[in-house]
């Protein structure tokens, strides 16, 4: 079946450090891939997405590239800030109108 696997957290970094959160997926066909962020006490916000192979999604300094050959969609940021502390969820959708399948989430904690 379709599934998403994320690296286990928590990830603890100092401000301005480089961030990578690994995400791999299993799916039939060509899913769309997403990263969502959940700040403490808040709902889910779309961070970035990619809908086909080799697409790069980017937003707020975060990037992720859809790699079909490695079935991956790793999240990266060159220099994290304290305000980036949140839970990050990788997700996939098989096609428009179908359910999003989420990974377990990775907690990021950034200290100054």
Partner 1 sequence: EPEVTQTPSHQVTQMGQEVILRCVPISNHLYFYWYRQILGQKVEFLVSFYNNEISEKSEIFDDQFSVERPDGSNFTLKIRSTKLEDSAMYFCASSSDRVPNYGYTFGSGTRLTVV
Q: Within positions 36 to 55, which residues make up the interface with partner 1, using CB under 8 A?
A: 36, 42-46, 49, 51-52
**Cβ 59 vs Cβ 41: under 8 Å:** no
Burial of 47 (0-12, 13-18, 19+ CB in 10 A): buried
Q: Is 104 in the site for partner 1 (CB under 8 A)?
A: yes
Kindly identify the residues of this chain, within the stretch 11-40, that bind partner 1 according to CB under 8 A.
32, 34, 36
Q: How far is the C-alpha of 43 from the C-alpha of 89, rounded, in Å?
A: 12
Count residues near partner 1 (CB under 8 A): 24
Give contact residues for partner 1 (rule: CB under 8 A): 32, 34, 36, 42-46, 49, 51-52, 89, 93, 95-105
């Amino acid at each position: 079946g379709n599934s998403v696997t994320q690296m286990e957290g928590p990830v603890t970094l100092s401000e301005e450090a480089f961030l990578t959160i690994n995400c791999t997926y299993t799916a039939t066909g060509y899913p769309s891939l997403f990263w969502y962020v959940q700040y403490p006490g808040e709902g889910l916000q779309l961070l970035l997405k990619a809908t086909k192979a080799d697409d790069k999604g980017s937003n707020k300094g975060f990037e992720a590239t859809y790699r079909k050959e490695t079935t991956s969609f790793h999240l990266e940021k060159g220099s994290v800030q304290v305000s980036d502390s949140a839970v990050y969820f990788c997700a996939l959708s098989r096609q428009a109108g179908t359910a999003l399948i989420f990974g377990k989430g990775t907690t990021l904690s950034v200290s100054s």
